[in-house]
Chains A and B, each alone.
Chain A
Amino acid sequence: MAKIKSLQDLIKLKEDSKDKIQIRKTAGEKDKIVLKVAMGTCGISAGAKETFSALIEAIDKHGLDNVVVTQTGCMGYCHAEPTVQVNEPEKETFLYGNITAEKAEELIVKHIINGELLQDSIVGETHQRAE
C-alpha cells in the first residue's frame, strides 16, 4: 500500500523528515547564528558536552531554524567553563561563561529569541586576537 496518499501526507512527512537535513540546511545560510561551545579538556570535564546537547535540544524545542551549534577548542576561560560564544551576523559577539546544561535553554530563550543579555553570565574578553 502506498505510504503517501495525498498532498497532506507528503507535507506531514516533509515536516517529520525536516530534522534529517535541518542542521545541514542552516549551515549553508548566510545569516545564521552560530553558538560555539568550547570543548577543550577543561570544557568537556565541566560539562560542555551536556551543554552542547542541551543547546541543540532547546533550539529544536523552540523550532529555531537559523541557529547552529558548533564546537571549538579551549578559549582560555577555564575558570568559567562551560563557555559558549554567540556569533550573530552583524552584531557584537558575546561570550557567556558557566553555561551548564540547565542554563542552555535560558540562553536560547533570552538571548536568541528575546534579544536580552544574560548579564550574570557574560565573560569579558580579556585578550585580543592576532589578525
Chain B
Amino acid sequence: MSKYKQYILVCGGTGCVSSGSGDVLDEFNKLLEEHNLQNDIQVVRTGCFGFCEQGTIVKILPDNTFYVKIEKNHVSEIINEHIIKGRKVEKLLFKDPQTKETVAEDEGMNFYKKQVRVALRNAGFINPEDIDEYIANNGYQALGKALTETNQDEVIDTLLESGLRGRGGGGFPTGLKWRFANKAKSNQKYVVCNADEGDPGAFMDRSILEGDPHSVIEGMALAGFAIGADKGVVYIRAEYPLAVERLEIALNQAREYGFLGENIFGTGFSFDIDIRLGAGAFVCGEETALIHSIEGYRGEPTTKPPFPANSGLFNEPTLINNVETFANIPIILDKGSDWYRSLGTEKSPGTKVFALAGAINNVGLVEVPMGTTLREIIFEIGGGIRNGKKFKAAQTGGPSGGCIPTEYLDTEIDFDNLNALGSMMGSGGLIVMDEDTCMVDVSKFYLEFTVEESCGKCTPCRIGNVRLLETLEKISSGRSKPEDLRKLEILGQAIKDSSLCGLGQTAPNPILSTYHYFKEEYEAHVMDRICPAGVCKDLIKFDIIENKCVGCTACARVCPTAAITGELRKPHVIHQDKCIKCGACYDTCRFGAITKS
C-alpha cells in the first residue's frame, strides 16, 4: 500500500457543503493530479469541524494548518505555496478578532482551546464514508469486547457507573433506561435512535450522523446486545439528506463487515438497523409520538406510563435514545466509566455538544465538559457578541427552554443548574441574544413555533397556547391591559400542568422565563406602551430631528412607502400615517437625524 505523506481534510458537513466545499474538494483533487501528487497527498472529506462561521474549513496534516473561508479559487494558491513550497498562505489563515493576529493551528484558537471532543471525536478527523478509518480509531472495538468478553449486566453496570444522562433533553440516566428495557420480558424488543432533531438552531445530531455515523451504529448495536433486541430503527427527518446518505453508506459497510446482521463476532448475537424518515414534525421528537410515526400512524403522543421500555414500538419493549447519547456509548465502554466521570460534573458527567447561534461571533458546533460556564462558552469559545453589542440573554433548550440573563452567566452548565434557572439543557441549542432583542418578541417567536407544531390532540396545548399567543400579540401591539400579564402566568402554568406530552408541558417556558427575568420589559409594553428594544413595530415611532437633518434626501429615497417628504437641503418630515416602521431611514441616515422611540 502506498503511504500518503500529507492529508488535506476538507469539511463535508452541511454548513460547509452549502458554502461550496464540494467544489473545493474537486479542485484539490484536480490540481493534485495536475501536479502528479495524487499518490503522495490524500484529500479527505470529513465531517463537521464545528467552526461553521468560517466555512469552508480546510486542514492540512501533519502540518496542522487550519485554513478558513476557503473557496474554489484559493485552492491553486494553497497547492502552489503550501503543498509545493511549504509556505503557509497567511491571508487564508484564521485571524483572531480580538488580538488581530493570525492563528495557523486550531489548537491556538479560542474556539477550540476549551473544547473536549468526545461525541464529536471523529467528526472532522476521519472520512465518515470509510469504515476502515473508524476501525483504525478504535471503532467497533467496544462492541467486539462487549460481545465476546462481557455480558449484558456488565455493559449496563458500566453505563450506570459512568453517570451518562440522556443527551436528547430530559437528562434521564441512560444506564437506568437500559436496565428497564433489559428487565422487560418479551421475545421481541427494539432499539430506536431518535434523530428527529427539531429545535430551531440545533444541529448537533445532524453533524454527528454526517461526521461519524458508525459511532451511532455501534452504540445502537451495543444497546441491542444489552437489552436483548435484534432490531433497531433510526428515526431521522427527511430534511437531513446528507446525514441519511452517510448513514445508509455506513449501514451497508457495517453489514458487509459483519457488525450488523447475524452471528455478529461469531457470538450468535444478531442485530440490524432500519431507517425511517420523518416528515419533520416537531412533536415526533417526543418518544411516544415518534413510536406512532414509525408504526405508520399519525405522529401523536400518548400518555406515559406505560413507558416505551415496557410497551413501545408495536407494543414491545423499546429503548429510545438520542443520537448524541448513542455516539457517547462506544467510547465510554472502551475507556471505562472512571474515564468518563473524570469529565464534567458530579451529577452530569461527560461533555455536551452545543450549537452556538444568534448574535455571536463564532457560530458553530462546540463540545465542552459539563460544568463549563455560559460566559466561557459565549465569550471565550464563541468570541463574544457580534458588532460589539451588549449581551442580553442566552436561550437554551429551544422552544421548550428558557432565557438566561446576564446575572447568571457564571452558572456552570449542567442538567440541574439549567432546570433551576427555569430553562433546560434540551438538545443543546444555544441562541445568544444582544441588547437589540425584545424579549416579548422572542417569546412570540417560540410560541408561534409551538402553536404551529402542536399536534392538536390535547386541549391545553391546542387551545391554551393559541390564547397565550393572542395575549402576547396584544402586548406587542400595544392593545393589552394590565391583567393580561397575570393571565400569561396563570394560563402558562395551567398549560404546563395539564398538557399531554412534553411539547405542551414545556411550551410556555419561553414566556414564563422571560417574564420572570425581564418583567420590566413586559410592563413597559403594557403600561407605557413602549418597546425598550425598539423591535415591536406598533410601539415604535420614527421621527426626524429638524435641526440635525441636512436635507440630503437619502431617507426619502430608501423609504418603501414614500412616507418621507421634504425639499432638497431642507429638513424632511415622516408622515406617520404612511410609515410602516421598517427602519430603512434610520439605518440610512448618516447624520443621526432620525430617532426611534
Contact A6 B61 (CB under 8 A): no
Interface residues on B, range: 35 or more
Q: Are A27 and B64 in contact (CB under 8 A)?
A: yes
Which residues 139-183 of B have a CB within 8 angstroms of A? 140-141, 144-145, 147-149
Given contacts A3-B257, A20-B133, A73-B86, contact A10 B61 (CB under 8 A): no
Inter-chain contact A56/B62, CB cutoff 8 Å: no
Q: Could you say which interface size class chain A belongs to?
A: 35 or more
B256-269 Cβ-contact flags toward A at 8 Å (1 or 0): 11110101111000
Residues of the A chain whose Cβ atoms lie less than 8 Å from the Cβ of B7:
23-24
Residue with the highest number of chain B CB atoms closer than 10 Å, among A3, A22, A27, A38: A27
CB-CB under 8 A from A13, the residues of chain B are 132, 135
Q: Are A19 and B3 in contact (CB under 8 A)?
A: yes
Which chain B positions have C-beta within 8 A of A23?
4-7, 61-62
B80 adjacent to chain A (CB < 8 Å): no
Contact B86 A7 (CB under 8 A): no
B132 close to A20 (CB less than 8 A): yes
Q: Which residues of A contact B144 (CB under 8 A)?
A: 7, 10-11
Q: Which residues on the B side are within 8 Å of A22 (C-beta)? A: 136
Judge if B126 is at the interface, Cβ distance under 8 Å.
Answer: yes
Across the interface, which residues of B come within 8 angstroms of A18, CB to CB? 136
Interface Cβ pair total, 8 Å cutoff? 102
When chains A and B are docked, how far (Å) is the Cα of A10 from the Cα of B134?
Answer: 12
Encoded as 1 (CB less than 8 Å from any B CB) or 0, chain A from 35 to 63 comes to 00011100000000000110011001000
> Which residues does chain A contribute within 8 Å of B87, judged by CB atoms?
72-73
Considering only CB atoms, which chain B residue lies closest to A13 in the complex? B135
B-chain residues with CB within 8 Å of residue A21 when the two chains form the complex: 125-126, 133, 136-137
Report yes or no: A17 in contact with B133, Cβ–Cβ below 8 A.
Answer: yes
Q: Which residue of A lies closest to B106 (CB)?
A: A28
B85 near A7: Cβ-Cβ < 8 Å: no
Q: Mark A1-34, 1 if CB is under 8 A from B, else 0.
A: 0111111001101100111111111111000001
Q: In the complex the two chains form, is A70's CB within 8 Å of B85's CB? A: no
A39 to B87, CA, bound (A): 10
Bound together, the chains give a CA A23 to CA B86 distance in angstroms of 17
A68 at the interface (CB under 8 A from B): yes
Q: In angstroms, how far is the closest chain B Cβ from the Cβ of A32?
A: 8
Q: How far is the CA of A109 from the CA of B377 in the complex (A)?
A: 45
User: Would you call A69 and B141 a contact (CB within 8 A)?
Assistant: no
- Cα–Cα, bound, A73→B89 (Å): 12
Given A24-B125, A70-B86, A73-B87, are A7 and B265 also a contact pair (CB < 8 Å)?
Answer: yes
User: Which residue of the partner chain B has the closest CB to A52?
Assistant: B5
In the assembled complex, the Cα of A13 lies from the Cα of B137 at a distance in Å of 11
248-301 of chain B: CB within 8 A of chain A: 256-259, 261, 263-266
Asked if A71 is an interface residue, CB under 8 A from chain B, the answer is yes
- Kindly state whether residue B63 has any CB partner on chain A within 8 Å: yes
CB of B520, distance to nearest CB on chain A (Å)? 49
Do B258 and A5 have beta carbons less than 8 Å apart? yes
Nearest-CB distance from B16 to chain A (Å)?
A: 18
- Chain A residues with CB below 8 A from B266, complex form: 5-6
Residues in chain A near residue B256, CB distance under 8 A: 2-3
CA distance A28 to B65 in the complex (A): 11
B579 to chain A, nearest CB (A): 57
Within 8 A of A (CB), among B93-152: 125-126, 130, 132-133, 135-138, 140-141, 144-145, 147-149
**When the two chains form their complex, are residues A14 and B259 in contact, meaning their CB atoms are under 8 A apart?**
no
- CA gap between A26 and B63 in the complex, in Å: 11
- A5 contacts B265, CB within 8 Å? yes
With both chains docked as a complex, state the minimum distance between the C-beta of B457 and any C-beta of chain A, in angstroms. Answer: 45
B568 interface hit (Cβ, 8 Å): no
B64 / chain A contacts, CB cutoff of 8 Å? 27-28
Name the A residues within 8 Å of B3 (CB-CB): 19, 56-57, 60
Q: Write the chain A residue with the least CB distance to B132.
A: A17
Partner of A7, one of B1, B133, B148: B148
Contact B5 A53 (CB under 8 A): yes
B258–A2 CB distance below 8 A: yes
Q: Residues of A contacting B265 with CB < 8 Å?
A: 4-7, 10
| Residues on A facing B (Cβ under 8 Å) | 2-7, 10-11, 13-14, 17-28, 34, 38-40, 52-53, 56-57, 60, 68-73
Q: Give 23 CB contacts A-B under 8 Å.
A: A2-B257, A4-B259, A5-B265, A6-B148, A6-B265, A7-B144, A10-B141, A10-B265, A13-B132, A14-B135, A14-B138, A14-B141, A20-B132, A22-B136, A23-B6, A23-B61, A23-B62, A24-B61, A26-B62, A39-B85, A39-B86, A53-B5, A73-B86
Smallest CB-CB A-B distances: 8 pairs: A2-B258, A68-B62, A27-B62, A71-B86, A17-B136, A17-B132, A7-B144, A27-B61
